[in-house]
Structure 1
Amino acid sequence: MVTEGEPGSLVKVVYILLLSATWGMQCWVTFVAGFVMIRGVPRHTFGLVQSKLFPFYGHIVMCFSFLNLVVYAVYHPRELLSPSESVQVALFFTSLVASALNARWFSPSTSKAMFSIHAIEREHGLGAEIGLSANIEGYKRLREQDPKYKALRKTFMRYHGISSLCNLVSLLCNGASLVFTALLLPTL
């Protein structure tokens, strides 16, 4: 479907609002919220809060990435794309794929492993301390003594790492899209 003409003012405003809201939310969640919480609440509380917030966060990023891709694609038909507009479409698509994988698979898998870890930690009196550096020896001993805990922790770290990578890829794509949008503002 080729759309003729320039997008209307409302479309431009919605597009900019979605893109900037997504990027701003990603920056806040990635660089502020987690670091503040891990230093201020017990570890298990931090994990519980993250497990409740991340599904909403992931799905909002996924939906906004989809809407940005659709709005951009409608007003930039494939047959008429310039090289910079092609990059913009690729950035939106990459952000959508990364955020969808994160929202639908990696984030839930991370939470599932985390809750299993928390159950074992509670049995050993761990998880109520505040901050990452508190009671490091207790966690180290538990890893050495309990092979199930060690395996769950390895699974958690793998999923958490992939989830973080997906989040970072999506954040960078949306940041680059904001740069392209600013540089190509008249052609939005």
Structure 2
Amino acid sequence: MRLHTVGTLAILILAAFESVSSFQVGVGRTHKSLSVEHSFHVVTPKGPEAIGSTTLAATAAETPAEPWTKPRLHNNPLVRSAVLLAALMLTGISSPFGKLPAAAMASVHVLSFGTWFGTVFYTTFIAGLTMFKALPRQTFGKLQSKLFPKYFALSSLTIVLQLITASRLPGIAAASSRALGVSLVMTLLNQFILEPKSTKVMFDRYEFENSDDPAALETDEYKKLRAGFGKLHGMSSLTNLIAFVGAVVHGVLLSSALVAP
């Protein structure tokens, strides 16, 4: 079996695992019961008269989510990421994609770099700061919790495409691939560890801040959450900045290759 076939199968298997994982999350969500009230009426000489009422109701309470199966190794985000990257590298190196003409490879590389650089620059220095100043703090946090997974996923994908195409393009310095490799590691660290943890701590903080108990903000647990969020957020910002520095380094080296005689 050829390597690109193996890579394709790996991607399909990964997609199947993702589907199973999504299904388990869906069936594990909480449900609220419905309340239905029905009244019986009879007609009398004086007109319709209600003679009874039956209420079919249940308290609209949250039902705790229960996992259907035990956590599996392949449902670990890091394992899924490793499988996906291995599959992409295999398909990129051994499939016809890796044998495209130099002009096509250069186009994929430049478009991937432009998408990645523009996304990181705009998110970090324009969109993020604007939303932080214009939105209430909790609204901003909830919005970022939806945007960041897509942001890091897009960054990871475009970096992988650049690494695959860089190996087929003459004139791109080895230092450029090293810069891309560092950026990829930092992005994956954010995508699968720092961002999910910081988001969880953030929502735990919100529960205390939205509590009706005024003393909730004075508890040791809340103070611990605040300190933990600050630490995770700082690490996430630092790794994102390192990834951006890698993008700048690669951009400079790429520009030098374009004008080289």
Percent same amino acid at aligned positions? 29
Q: Distance in 2 between matches of 1:173 and 1:68?
A: 12
Quote the residue 2:68 is aligned against: none
1:22 equivalent in alignment to 2:116: yes
Q: Secondary structure at the match of 1:75?
A: coil
TM-score (norm 1): 0.79
Q: Secondary structure at the match of 2:134?
A: coil
Quote the residue 1:182 is aligned against: 255
Quote the residue 1:150 is aligned against: 223
8 Å CA contact 1:94, 1:170 repeated in 2: yes
Deviation >6 Å, runs of 4+: none
1:67 equivalent in alignment to 2:161: yes
Between the two proteins, the alignment pairs up a number of residues equal to 164
8 Å CA contact 1:6, 1:75 repeated in 2: no
8 Å CA contact 2:180, 2:247 repeated in 1: yes
After superposition, what is the alpha-carbon deviation per residue over 1:57-114, rounded to whole angstroms, capped at 9, x for unaligned? 01111111111111112336xxxxx8x7121111010011010111111111110010
1:103 equivalent in alignment to 2:176: no
Q: Report which of the two has the higher share of helix.
A: 1
Counterpart of 2:232 (choices 159, 167, 170) is 159
1:54 equivalent in alignment to 2:148: yes
Counterpart of 1:10 (choices 104, 123, 130) is 104
1:86 equivalent in alignment to 2:174: yes
Q: Report which of the two has the higher share of strand.
A: 2
Q: Distance in 2 between matches of 1:178 and 1:6?
A: 22
Structure number with larger C-alpha Rg: 2
Q: Tell me how large the CA RMSD over aligned residues is.
A: 2.6
Structure 2 CA distance for partners of 1:167 and 1:125, relative to 1, 3 Å? farther
What stretches of structure 2 of length at least 5 have no aligned partner?
Answer: 1-92
User: Greater RCO between the two (CA within 8 Å, min separation 6)?
Assistant: 1
8 Å CA contact 2:105, 2:168 repeated in 1: no
